[in-house]
């Protein structure tokens, strides 16, 4: 059994869509918090199966998209340093900084290498003991355990020429920031199943109570997403605001305790700047002082600089669910995957990339603004 085809069953998808239509009596705005869910919604046209009064908006669930330009600039700076190897996942290479991206840095002679695991970067450091190796550690809570393990492996093996350039962001503080904004219109959340697989459900109940919003932990296939929406709308229609787990095949209430312990050993919570949004207090991880030697920002004395974003790019409004990609005047014209103005058009999880790939980029679409 593949456990994929079953969750793309067209008959079951239609039944769930019909059930949602039957229980919906008023307009609701629901945000999916994960870029993978955004791509599934747009690719399979799930939003087009729903009653028109239900609006799905897309949150800051793409870690590549919210990595600030200053960190891209730091990665470029490191990549161009003689004798240094900059390792990264491939989806970071074309994200624009304020000057150039990592792919351009590579073309200019920087030693930029695409890896599939942070442990690959540790192996590169072991194979090149006379050179510094930095891994660009980007992601939500999902990728934090692997990056923490890379630090522990390097420390255990005595690999001193390895470090992380860290851009880890956390989902619950971002949800709080969205709900607390004066222009917020989100009434319910589909929470990211893979994040909860690691972290569990404990951080979501206080948010649901404080802001009176239902939060349903959801998977990534069409049936998963429609089941999550069905549960969320049932709560909204009944006036309830609770945390539900609609992804029980992968998520436990306490997440993965071992992975959480590894993360807590290497990282500590800190304020983090989100591209297009700004600084959100206590919304990211940074390397603990105990492992400070493996913190590239401190080791190479990388200085923070003011954030700058192209004026035409409205990624901040898109990432907060205030607007959709079609609302951007540059979408599909000045901003394309080949010539992106912002990260949401570059990343494989970006909302703009999803709309560009799966929908007629020049077609009109209902606006997400009130």
- Give the list of residues 6+ apart from residue 78 with CB closer than 8 angstroms, or none: 84, 86, 134, 165, 296, 300, 302
What pLDDT digit, counting tens, does each position of 275-319 carry? 878 899 999 999 999 999 999 999 999 976 655 555 678 888 888
Enter the DSSP assignment of 304: P
Q: For 9-143, where are the alpha helices, taking DSSP H only?
A: 10-23, 35-44, 63-66, 69-79, 102-107, 118-127
Q: What is the pLDDT of residue 308?
A: 55
Judge residue 2's burial from the number of C-beta atoms within 10 Å of its C-beta, 0-12 exposed, 13-18 middle, 19 or more buried. exposed
Cα distance between residue 135 and residue 138, in whole Å: 9
Q: Which helix (H) or strand (E) holds 229?
A: helix 222-238
State the Cα–Cα distance between residues 31 and 54, nearest whole angstrom. 11
Provide the pLDDT for residue 352: 92
pLDDT of res. 368: 40
The pLDDT score that the predictor gives to residue 306 is 56
Number of residues that make up the chain: 370
Bridge partners of 331, per DSSP, are 335
- Could you tell me the fold of the domain covering 64-170+255-299? Rossmann fold (3.40.50)
> Cβ of 189: how many Cβ atoms within 10 Å?
28
Count of C-beta atoms within a 10 Å radius of residue 14: 12
Of all helices (H) and strands (E), which one includes residue 150?
helix 144-157
Q: What's the pLDDT at 367?
A: 40
pLDDT at 249: 93
pLDDT at 305: 60
pLDDT tens for 121-163 read: 999 999 999 999 999 999 999 999 999 999 999 999 999 999 9
Q: For residues 289 and 297, give the distance between their C-alpha atoms in angstroms, rounded to a whole number.
A: 12
Statement: the pTM of the whole predicted model exceeds 0.85: yes
Report whether 76 contacts 88 (CB < 8 A): no
Structural contact between residues 75 and 165, judged by C-beta atoms closer than 8 angstroms: yes
- How far is residue 97 CA from its own chain's centroid? 18
Name the DSSP letter for residue 86. E
Give the residue carrying structure tokens 């409205």.
Answer: 314
Task: Give the DSSP letter string of 234-268.
Answer: HHHHHT---EEES-TTT--TT--HHHHHHHHHHEE
The span from the CA of 147 to the CA of 295, in Å, is 12
Q: Cα-flanking dihedrals φ and ψ of residue 342, to 5°?
A: -145, 165
Continuous segment of H or E residues that includes residue 157: helix 144-157
pLDDT along the chain (370 residues), means of 10: 79 97 98 93 95 94 89 96 96 87 96 97 98 97 97 98 96 96 95 96 98 97 97 98 97 97 98 90 97 96 65 82 90 86 82 87 40
Distance in angstroms (rounded) separating the CA atoms of residues 80 and 73:
11
Report the candidate in 359, 342, 355 with the shortest Cα–Cα distance to residue 96.
342
Rounded Cα distance, 207 and 213, in Å? 8
CB atoms within 10 A of CB 34: 27
Predicted local distance difference test score (pLDDT) of residue 17: 97
Specify the pLDDT at position 362: 40
What does the angle CA 85 – CA 90 – CA 93 come to, to the nearest 5 degrees? 70
């Amino acid at each position: 059994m593949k456990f994929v085809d079953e969750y793309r069953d067209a008959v079951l998808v239609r039944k769930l869509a019909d059930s949602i239509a039957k229980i919906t009596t008023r307009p609701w705005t629901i945000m999916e918090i994960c870029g993978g869910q955004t791509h599934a919604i747009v690719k399979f046209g799930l939003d087009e199966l729903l009653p028109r009064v239900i609006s799905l908006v897309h949150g800051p669930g793409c870690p590549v998209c919210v990595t600030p330009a200053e960190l891209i600039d730091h990665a470029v700076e490191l990549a161009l340093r003689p004798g240094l190897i900059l390792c990264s996942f491939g989806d970071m290479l074309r994200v624009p900084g304020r000057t150039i991206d990592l792919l351009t840095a590579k073309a200019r002679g920087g030693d930029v290498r695409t890896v599939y695991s942070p442990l690959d970067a540790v192996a590169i450091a072991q194979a090149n003991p006379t050179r510094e190796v930095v891994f660009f550690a980007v992601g939500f809570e999902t990728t934090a355990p692997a990056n923490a393990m890379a630090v522990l492996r390097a420390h255990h093996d005595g690999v001193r020429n390895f470090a992380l350039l860290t851009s880890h962001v956390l989902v619950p503080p971002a949800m709080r920031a969205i709900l607390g904004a004066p222009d917020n219109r989100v009434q319910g959340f589909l929470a990211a199943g893979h994040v909860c697989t690691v972290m569990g459900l404990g951080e979501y109940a206080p948010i649901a109570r404080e802001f009176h919003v239902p939060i349903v932990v959801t998977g990534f296939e069409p049936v998963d997403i429609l089941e999550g929406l069905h549960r969320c709308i049932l709560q909204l229609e009944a006036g309830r605001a609770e945390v539900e787990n609609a992804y029980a095949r992968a998520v436990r209430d306490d997440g993965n305790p071992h992975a959480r312990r590894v993360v807590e050993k290497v990282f500590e919570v800190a304020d983090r700047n989100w591209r297009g949004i700004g600084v959100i207090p206590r919304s990211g991880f940074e390397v603990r002082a105990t492992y400070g030697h493996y913190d590239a920002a401190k080791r190479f004395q990388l200085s923070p600089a003011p954030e700058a974003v192209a004026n035409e790019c409205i990624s901040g409004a898109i990432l907060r669910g205030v607007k959709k990609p079609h609302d951007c005047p540059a979408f599909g014209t000045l901003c394309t995957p080949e010539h992106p103005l912002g990260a949401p058009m570059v990343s494989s999880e970006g909302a703009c990339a999803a709309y560009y790939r799966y929908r007629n980029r020049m077609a009109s679409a209902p606006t997400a603004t009130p």
